[in-house]
Amino acid sequence: MKPVRKITASGERSGEAASSVLERPPLGRALQGRLTTPALLLPVPLALVAGVAVLLLGHTGHHPQRKAIEAGRSPALEASTAAPARSASAATGAQAPGAARADTAAEQRDPEEASSFPVSPASIAQRPAASSPRRAAEAFVAPGALSTARVRQALARLGALEHSAGAGVSTVPGGNSVGGNGTIPIPPAIPLIVQRVIAGANAIADYPYVYGGGHLSFQDNAYDCSGSISYALAAGGLLARPETSGELESWGAPGPGRWITIYANAGHVYMYVNVGDGVWMRFDTVGRSGPYASRWQPDARSNEGFVARHWPGL
């Protein structure tokens, strides 16, 4: 039995509240230039009024990403600039779903791979691939209002988790993975997008580690560190395609968040999620209790050498 420590968004054991960094886009430049033609002087007042109105309307209220978050929508998938998700069918030649991908050649090899209980791709060739992140999230987080029974069930599980923070919670011998079925409760009171991220992480929590797993497609039968985080973030609509740990160094905005914080460098990435009441859980391939143990862990780890990133508004 290991005691659960409250982890702040910065990843340190502390009871202090975490703060988020929200960067607002700069206001557009003011209209420039002079009107020298007499025939154009009359529309000037109207043009100025219209310009001011556009500026005011365009910057009144919340950030567009925050509006989407408050509405429970997926801002990354709604953005017109979001890149399409890559598909395994785009690969040339037959490859086992969990095999190392050709597109990982330029990425720095995960320096913590040996601590992630890697398995041979051949040993899991017959293992079925996970469903899409969207489907995984919807399977756990049904759209619309929650039923009374479902709310009571979620509150009971959350209460058990919070109670265990003081009484101690069992972890699987050999590491720090949570026990049971390897999943954690999804609190009904937290933002819907965060619920979906937890649901996505739950769906692949006990999948084995193969370097390159989850890089070519979200749907795979094994995931490395960045494949795991990409899948979870995609379930919340915060990522449109799998990204390497190096790419995730520039995901979202700098600094820790109030609900979700990822820590990334060129070779490894992991995530902390606030499950409510100051209780943070770590989702990481390192520190697990075995090749099929959960990525969810109640303890923090050293964040030295990693950059903290969060999604604006979260």
Q: What is the pLDDT of residues 164-193, one digit of tens each?
A: 443 345 799 999 999 999 999 999 999 999
Tokens of 290: 């075995």
Range of lowest pLDDT (105-119, 173-187, 298-312): 105-119
pTM value is: 0.66
Q: Which pLDDT score, from 0 to 100, does residue 104 have?
A: 40
pLDDT tens-digit series, residues 235-257: 999 999 999 999 999 999 999 99
Average pLDDT in the 64-76 region?
49
Q: Which of 177, 172, 171 is nearest to 116 (CA)?
A: 177
Alpha carbon of 287 to those of 75, 189, 229, 284: distances in Å? 32, 29, 15, 7
Q: Which of 22, 6, 15 is nearest to 314 (CA)?
A: 22
Q: Domain for residue 24, yes or no?
A: no
What DSSP designation does 294 have? -
Q: Domain for residue 211, yes or no?
A: yes
Report the domain count for the chain: 1
Alpha helices, DSSP H, located in the chain: 43-58, 64-70, 75-78, 133-140, 148-167, 192-203, 225-235, 245-248
Q: Domain for residue 101, yes or no?
A: no
The answer on pLDDT for 142 being more than 60 is no
Q: Domain for residue 58, yes or no?
A: no
Residue 150: which pLDDT band, with cuts at 50, 70 and 90?
A: low
Q: Domain for residue 30, yes or no?
A: no
Q: Determine the straight-line distance between the first and last CA of the chain, rounded to whole angstroms.
A: 32
Tell me the CATH number at 171: 3.90.1720.10
The answer on pLDDT for 40 being more than 80 is no
Q: Which of 270, 305, 299 is nearest to 1 (CA)?
A: 299
What is the rounded CA–CA span in Å between residue 206 and residue 222?
9
Q: Domain for residue 250, yes or no?
A: yes
Q: Higher pLDDT residue, 131 or 82?
A: 131
Given strand 260-264, what is the order of strands in its sheet? 253-254, 307-310, 260-264, 269-274, 280-283, 296-297
**Domain, as residue range, for 196:** 64-86+115-121+129-310
SS3 118: strand
The answer on pLDDT for 272 being more than 70 is yes
Q: Which pLDDT score, from 0 to 100, does residue 52 have?
A: 40
Q: Domain for residue 199, yes or no?
A: yes
CB atoms within 10 A of CB 221: 22
Q: Higher pLDDT residue, 61 or 191?
A: 191
